[in-house]
A and B are shown apart, each in its own frame.
Chain A
Amino acid sequence: MINHPTHIKDVGGYIYFSDKTRGLSGKPVKIHTSLFLDFFCALDITTQEGQAVIRDIENLKVNPSAFAKSPPIALPKPRTAESPGHVDRMAQVRKNAADMSHQLKIQKETFLVTKNFRVYYHIHQKEEDSTPTVYISELQVIHRGQDSVGGLYQEKSANGDLVLSKSAKADLDGKTVFLSGATSSVEAAMEDAKYATGNHSVALFFCPMAVADDLGVWKTNRLTEQTKNLAKELEDTIRNNQTKTVNWLVEAEGAGLLSVAIEKISGSLEKHSFKFNNAKANLPKLLGDLSQHKAQLTGEFIGYQANKAALLTIVSQKDALIKQISSLGAATGYNSITRRYLTQQIASLGGQAAAKLAAQPQNLRGSSTTFLGALIAAGAQSK
């Protein structure tokens, strides 16, 4: 009889979550090693949020709701006049019913919601387990944000006070536009834009947090209407300014949104220049699309600043990225030197540490290291 949720195919590869969940107190908590990269990218364990999530997962060992019994299957009460044999058979029937009820419970996967994580788990006792154990088999990241609407924003001065407003058809000629990563509010994204560009009159194309749920690199969900509409708005913004000179600085998930928008655009973008920082998207494909549109990709147009998810994204696409950069039009003058530096930089990015990180889901299988211990070690290596 199968006694784990039927959709879980890989029943091996579970390791203890942390030293506190080895079963010395409370139920043991184990987690599948395939979740390592998701965890590593989505959570910084040194932050307040990271610590809260870890404590909540560790507390699954004492979470009573996880072990609550299902309502028993109703059976007829024994009549006093029944023979002893009949009473014994009924007792056996009740025991079987209780076991089946327990079986239904453990086959059912449930989840813990903490911060922006939804952690799916089930209770199971495998042969090597001395007690029923909590098995974490899936992880979902659900971002949160304010109710800010995505799109193009600009600031105007009211005698010094800055009024931020959404502009439908803006003339972006000569402007720098910051295409933000997924950010909780439009004001925070505008502050990021000014900080990144050092330009007080920068225009902002704002991506709300929900976009990050749709445009992940490791796990891609079906695009929601909200993300589709935002990509359409970006497409219209580019199209309306196609013949104007526009400098784009694209941050993190903004690259994913640009990838969707650029597919629908035809014609030349030769007056548009693009720079990427901590891009989280299929960058080789995006660069290929932009180069087909004759967009300017000059200087050090790919940047990376201590962002784990961006590092892994670049490392995982390293060869394709270098190949794509070398296939861009021939660089001239000083550009040929920066192009060479950029290629060398990407080639050396991460090095052995990043390769080891990418292999962790496989390496950790059967390891005595705890999941948290591996996360701490990986965090120290990537700094």
Chain B
Amino acid sequence: MIFPDFLDGPQITDGDLVRFTFGDADLTLRLPVIPNYENRRDRVSSIKDFSVIEFDDWRHFGDDGECAKKIVYQGWIYEDTVSHDDIAECTLEIEVRKYGTADEARNFSLNSATFRSHHLARLTEGFAEFPETRPDWPSDTNNFFAKPIPLKWVDGLLVQLDLSARKYPVPVAILPLGRRYYLNISFKFGSLHYRDRKNPYSDDLLRKMSLDVFDEFLSLIRIDYSPEFLAIIESSNGK
């Protein structure tokens, strides 16, 4: 990643490796080491094995047993190395989501094309309630600017979503984790302002930097499928 001169903050490449198990897949993330900030936001789920688990305390949505659990919530700051001013703040949120009973039986995650089409259809349906009026913003007409995230067996999906009326849409990565679960990663980024002075870095520059940081984070994700699930992928002609 090309880091702007005079900006300093946690580096993804120096992060800790954290591993989660989801039955069909093992997930390895490299999470940045968060310094001891005053309002430190660094919560990583103590539950690492989701192969057998109760869903009572998960966030439930839909009417077919769909639910979600936040496994990572981290926030960090980039500061100017000369003035020590805080320049930008970012938040990484990772949720594991369980498919509804019917969707689980349909096995969308066996194939990059079906995974993509299912999740784009899900987004189209979900965001129909929030019609986007701004031109050039993500919507169902431009497929939420969807791009594939190349993975070894089944590709993930990178979309842009309007989640909180920010100046820029929020990049969200959707990654397959086998038949039962998928991963939802959002990366929110905002410039910081003191009341008495301006932020010397332009919003566009910080936006580019944020997308670079997120790309770097995604490039270090590793998903290892179980031999059983790999056999199912291969028998269905996989990728």
List the interface of chain A (C-beta within 8 A of B). 44, 46-50, 52, 56, 113-116, 118, 142-148, 156-166, 184-188, 191, 200, 210, 213
Contact = CB atoms under 8 A, between A and B. Distances in A.
A369 B79 CA distance: 32
Contact of A163 (B37, B41, B75, B130): B130
B38 interface: yes
A159 to B, nearest CB: 3
Interface in B168-210: 172, 184, 188, 190-197
13 contacts: A47-B40, A48-B36, A52-B84, A142-B194, A142-B195, A144-B195, A145-B192, A145-B193, A147-B190, A158-B127, A165-B165, A184-B89, A187-B188
B41 A188 contact: yes
Given A46-B36, A49-B37, 7 more contacts: A115-B86, A142-B194, A144-B85, A147-B167, A157-B126, A184-B89, A184-B192
A144 B123 contact: no
B97 interface: yes
B89 A50 contact: no
Interface of B: 35-41, 59, 61-62, 66, 68, 73, 75, 83-86, 89, 91, 97, 122-123, 125-127, 129-130, 161-165, 167, 172, 184, 188, 190-197
B163 to A, nearest CB: 6
Contacts of A147: 167, 190-191, 193
A193 to B, nearest CB: 13
9 smallest CB-CB distances across A and B, nearest first, come from A159-B126, A158-B126, A146-B190, A164-B164, A48-B35, A144-B194, A157-B61, A47-B38, A200-B59
Contacts of B122: 159-160
Nearest to A46: B36
B130 A143 contact: no
Contacts of B125: 159
Contacts of A116: 194
A200 B101 CA distance: 22
Contacts of A52: 84
Nearest to A191: B73
Contacts of B192: 144-146, 184
Contact of A166 (B68, B129, B165, B196): B165
